[in-house]
Amino acid sequence: MADSNKSTKEISPAVIKRLPRYYRYLGELKENEVSRISSKELSQRMQVTASQIRQDLNNFGGFGQQGYGYNVEHLHAEIGKILGLDKINNLIIIGAGNLGQALANYQHFEPNGFRILGLFDVNPRLVGITVRGVEVYDIDTLEDFIKNHDIKIAALTLPKQMAPEMAREMVDWGIKAFWNFAPVDLNLPEDIMVENVHLAESLMTLSYRIHSTEV
């Protein structure tokens, strides 16, 4: 059996980036009542080589049996454990504008172990409204909320001029990881995890790929 508690510090970031894709594809296979799959079949679906799949999963001890392949339900559950999705991950959203509310409205966080406990904003017209049952709180209550609700993850949907200082304060209050939608780099201690989602930069990458093929 694989050791799902193996330290991710030993694992390549590229491998970790692929784990959610494995989890998603295996989830779709489960929904379609597929009970087992070979690395070759999985590679054809995911456009990743069978060798790469085996190498990735061997980082965690390996899950397949020669001549049998992978048990879909078991592998899906084990990758979920590796990703920490078997636990409840409380998170908050800082910035209750259009993007913050769109995140709160997304319905697939809860099934994957993420629970949004609150949105926070400086705009008094937004404070007190609810988005899919999640209340918008005054930003002045943020420190106490983080400390009283065991919050480790925060999504930042703030203007870029506000995000760096807000993030530094939240680190002092106990936040360990940021899902950063603000178009700015965060200068934080090395042990703080940051996952950047810079929407404009993604579009610029698409623009490059489109126009580079036209030359």
pLDDT one-digit tens code per residue, 83-118: 999 889 999 999 999 999 999 999 889 888 899 999
Q: What is the pLDDT of residue 67?
A: 67
Confirm whether 215 is domain-assigned.
Answer: no
Q: What does the alpha-carbon distance between residue 22 and residue 70 come to, in Å, rounded to a whole number?
A: 12
The DSSP code for 140 is: G
Confirm whether 210 is domain-assigned.
Answer: no
Q: Is the pLDDT of residue 133 over 90?
A: yes
Task: Note whether 19 and 82 are within 8 A (CB).
Answer: yes
pLDDT digits (tens, 9 = 90+) for 38-75: 989 999 989 889 999 999 998 888 787 666 789 999 99
Confirm whether 211 is domain-assigned.
Answer: no
Of the three residues 82, 107, 137, the one that is the final residue of a domain is: 82
| Alpha-carbon 211 to chain mean position | 30
Of the three residues 47, 66, 82, the one that is the final residue of a domain is: 82
Confirm whether 3 is domain-assigned.
Answer: no
Confirm whether 162 is domain-assigned.
Answer: yes
Together in a domain, 69 and 116 = no
Q: Is the pLDDT of residue 177 over 80?
A: yes
Q: What is the pLDDT of residue 125?
A: 96
Q: What is the pLDDT of residue 114?
A: 93
Give the predicted TM-score (pTM) of the model: 0.84
Q: Is the pLDDT of residue 184 over 80?
A: yes
* Overall number of domains in the chain: 2
| Alpha-carbon 107 to chain mean position | 14
Which residue range forms the structural domain that includes residue 128? 89-201
Q: What is the pLDDT of residue 4?
A: 44
- Residue 175 carries which side chain, given as an amino acid letter? I
Of the three residues 33, 52, 82, the one that is the final residue of a domain is: 82
Q: Is the pLDDT of residue 214 over 90?
A: no
Together in a domain, 101 and 142 = yes
Task: Note whether 100 and 137 are within 8 A (CB).
Answer: no
Together in a domain, 191 and 102 = yes
Q: What is the pLDDT of residue 139?
A: 97
